[in-house]
Amino acid sequence: MLDFFTIFSKGGLVLWCFQGVSDSCTGPVNALIRSVLLQERGGNNSFTHEALTLKYKLDNQFELVFVVGFQKILTLTYVDKLIDDVHRLFRDKYRTEIQQQSALSLLNGTFDFQNDFLRLLREAEESSKIRAPTTMKKFEDSEKAKKPVRSMIETRGEKPKEKAKNSKKKGAKKEGSDGPLATSKAVPAEKSGLPVGPENGVELSKEELIRRKREEFIQKHGRGMEKSNKSTKSDAPKEKGKKAPRVWELGGCANKEVLDYSTPTTNGSPEAALSEDINLIRGTGPGGQLQDLDCSSSDDEGAAQNSTKPSATKGTLGGMFGMLKGLVGSKSLSREDMESVLDKMRDHLIAKNVAADIAVQLCESVANKLEGKVMGTFSTVTSTVKQALQESLVQILQPQRRVDMLRDIMDAQRRQRPYVVTFCGVNGVGKSTNLAKISFWLLENGFSVLIAACDTFRAGAVEQLRTHTRRLSALHPPEKHGGRTMVQLFEKGYGKDAAGIAMEAIAFARNQGFDVVLVDTAGRMQDNAPLMTALAKLITVNTPDLVLFVGEALVGNEAVDQLVKFNRALADHSMAQTPRLIDGIVLTKFDTIDDKVGAAISMTYITSKPIVFVGTGQTYCDLRSLNAKAVVAALMKA
């Protein structure tokens, strides 16, 4: 039984609607529009919303959308056939009203489609019932029954006989092979180990004997030279071991007191002064304002200038023929027209580090978007598909919710509470480093930061954050802020409960008046169930305002696996009724990938969450905001 069936235009005008139940279809259809149609995720023609399954079909020629909804526990096999039949009949019946392409004509038009729809629904239901169940194939119908019984009987003596026959045939061939080949095979008798001489039927000339004796002499003396070389090599380490080790000027010493960096410091004590160069630590550029990501390079600009020069020197006749080649000419696009272009686009996306499944879904979404669309006279299939793919990629990189940390922090200040951000991710992606960059950005904007060291597993994690805190304190000393400590580290050592440390840090920040709490967590693989349970506990207990997933731009298919399993683990191990999932993404190591920026597409597509920050270097100023158009331009570059 269907819950509803609705037909509306892409402009939002509902042309006709069938209501099978009393519940309204507005909520599920609006969710489909927001999550699928506006986000360019039309690779799959089904969408699940709460207890309903929605299936839809796009008519790009007349800009129509056909949507059917039913309970997801039902398996209705006739739904696809029903959508196709309704689409075909509705388009043919009201072609003149739809072709006028005006909102007033659609509003004034009377689409009396109830009786036709009920007839099509009844026919589709009956056709699914008439379909006979598939019966098992009988033995008489199989290919094995057609073979004679004698061909399936195997005796033990057959295979050795066949081998013996084959060996006899091979021996006969060898005996019968006389002539120059046989004599040429008999010449290298020295390989067989027999003495060469007249007794073996082989006579050598004087020159061959001299050459052979010379080779034997070289082999004997060569072995002796190798033995002498081995003996000299074995004696060499003994002589080196007697020498005293060299002492380097900047190498330090193995004194335990000098190498001990884990001096206990109480939470709240000011950090020691820094003796390093502050400019090298800070980097260049404005720290308080995030610059847009720039994916272009000087080599690309030079190539673009060189590519424009030869085009001016071409002849007018050749340029005219090149422009007219491949034009579509006011025809509607079909799957066959776009298949070759989409295959090349899919391979291009995979080569640019987009996950394979995501690339296939993107191309499928573009095909659904363009199928049946009437093209202009002066437009090619390649340019049309490429433009549609670019628009889809830009739309994907601009997801539904935009994260504005500065606005949210000021809102938390008005409520007199700290703004809490939790960082999570796999091992070695740069969580602590980018946490320090975000801390510097917040300090430049005038907010005080408390760093909670909740990575109690990795050796050196607390010392790393202490070093960053000391450097940030040197860049923003209390003297510049009226004696107020702007950045501080909250740590309880190693081997403690991370959720408890985060709770104490938030309480400490509330009492001391800190604006932001940045919680650093231990790196963990997405398949490690105990560590994922601990992360879900930390997020559930402390309810942070923002959960950021830190991922590196070097990954391809692994990005999809990491994000899917992190979200799944947070949902499975959470004790809340509505589990807290990832809110945003920090993309690191973006300066190492050149134009292979596909990880940004994969991560945003799979989570529908925005990329909040992009790490582009090793200094505190190397933090950028994502520029969707620049990323798409780098992605589409050949």
The CATH number assigned to the domain holding 66 equals 3.30.450.60
Q: Assess whether pLDDT exceeds 60 at residue 83.
A: yes
Contact 619, 573 (CB under 8 A): no
Higher pLDDT, 427 or 63: 427
Q: Is residue 136 part of a domain?
A: no
Residue 615 pairs in a beta bridge with 623
- Rounded to whole angstroms, how far apart are CA atoms 366 and 548? 30
Residue-wise pLDDT tens digits, 375-388 = 766 678 888 888 88
Average pLDDT over residues 292-301: 58
Q: Is residue 187 part of a domain?
A: no
- Rounded to whole angstroms, how far apart are CA atoms 514 and 203? 100
- Phi/psi region, residue 182 (left: phi>0; alpha: psi -120 to 50; beta: rest), is alpha
**Any idea which residue has 């006028």 for tokens?**
100
- Rounded to whole angstroms, how far apart are CA atoms 532 and 541? 14
Residues 465, 554 share a domain: yes
Q: Is residue 302 part of a domain?
A: no
For 17, the domain range is: 4-127
Average pLDDT over residues 198-206: 58
Residues 601, 489 share a domain: yes
Q: Identify the CA nearest to 602 among candidates 431, 353, 426.
A: 353
> What pLDDT, on a 0 to 100 scale, did the predictor assign at position 310?
42
Give 590's Cβ-side CA count (13 Å radius). 28
Q: Assess whether pLDDT exceeds 80 at residue 246.
A: no
- Rounded to whole angstroms, how far apart are CA atoms 216 and 156? 52
Residues 592, 521 share a domain: yes
> What pLDDT, on a 0 to 100 scale, did the predictor assign at position 472?
92
Residues 105, 47 share a domain: yes
Residue-wise pLDDT tens digits, 569-618 = 888 887 777 788 899 999 999 988 888 888 889 888 888 888 999 999 88
Q: Is residue 548 part of a domain?
A: yes
Residues 619, 533 share a domain: yes
Rounded to 5, what percent of the chain is helix, strand, coil?
A: 50, 10, 35
- Rounded to whole angstroms, how far apart are CA atoms 341 and 382? 6
State which amino acid sits at residue 394: V
Q: Assess whether pLDDT exceeds 90 at residue 504.
A: yes
> What pLDDT, on a 0 to 100 scale, did the predictor assign at position 308?
40
- Rounded to whole angstroms, how far apart are CA atoms 262 and 265? 9
Helix (H, G, I), strand (E, B), or coil: what is residue 586?
A: strand
Q: Identify the CA nearest to 450 among candidates 421, 487, 415.
A: 487
DSSP H or E run through 463:
helix 461-475
In sequence order, the 6+-apart residues with CB closer than 8 A to the CB of 136 are none
Residues 481, 360 share a domain: no
Residue-wise pLDDT tens digits, 340-354 = 999 999 999 999 988
Q: Is residue 203 part of a domain?
A: no
Q: In 109-205, which residue ranges form alpha helices assigned H by DSSP?
A: 114-130, 143-146, 149-152, 158-176, 180-186
Q: pLDDT over 90 for what percent of the chain?
A: 22
Residues 491, 385 share a domain: no
Q: Is residue 455 part of a domain?
A: yes
In sequence order, the 6+-apart residues with CB closer than 8 A to the CB of 324 are none
- Rounded to whole angstroms, how far apart are CA atoms 357 and 606? 10
Domain boundary among 344, 369, 397: 397
Highest mean pLDDT among 197-206, 337-346, 415-424: 415-424
Residues 503, 360 share a domain: no
Residues 25, 43 share a domain: yes
- Rounded to whole angstroms, how far apart are CA atoms 448 and 290? 18
Euclidean distance between the first and the last CA atom of the chain, given in angstroms as a whole number: 50
Quote the crossing angle between the two packed helices 381-396 and 356-370, to the nearest 10°: 120
Contact 73, 56 (CB under 8 A): no
- Rounded to whole angstroms, how far apart are CA atoms 471 and 466? 9
Average pLDDT over residues 52-62: 86
Higher pLDDT, 382 or 136: 382
Quote the crossing angle between the two packed helices 529-542 and 557-572, to the nearest 10°: 60
Q: Is residue 414 part of a domain?
A: yes
pLDDT-based confidence at 449, cuts 50/70/90? Answer: very high
Per-residue CA distances from 132 to 76, 126, 129, 452, 610 (Å): 16, 12, 8, 66, 50
Total structural domains within the chain? 3
Quote the crossing angle between the two packed helices 431-444 and 461-475, to the nearest 10°: 20
Contact 39, 396 (CB under 8 A): yes
State which amino acid sits at residue 570: L
> What pLDDT, on a 0 to 100 scale, did the predictor assign at position 281?
67
User: How many C-beta atoms surround the C-beta of residue 48 within 10 A?
Assistant: 12
Residues 425, 362 share a domain: no
- Rounded to whole angstroms, how far apart are CA atoms 532 and 502? 16
Contact 186, 200 (CB under 8 A): no
Residues 58, 35 share a domain: yes
Domain boundary among 370, 397, 424: 397
Q: Is residue 447 part of a domain?
A: yes
How many angstroms from the chain centroid is the CA of residue 325? 36
Residues 421, 376 share a domain: no
Structure-token pair, residue 150:
């004698």
Higher pLDDT, 513 or 594: 513
Q: What is the CA radius of gyration of the chain?
A: 37
**Any idea which residue has 């060189």 for tokens?**
306
Contact 14, 6 (CB under 8 A): yes
DSSP H or E run through 625:
strand 623-625
Structure-token pair, residue 520:
């650093």
Domain boundary among 103, 127, 151: 127
pTM of the model: 0.65
Q: What is the CATH number of the domain that holds 601?
A: 3.40.50.300
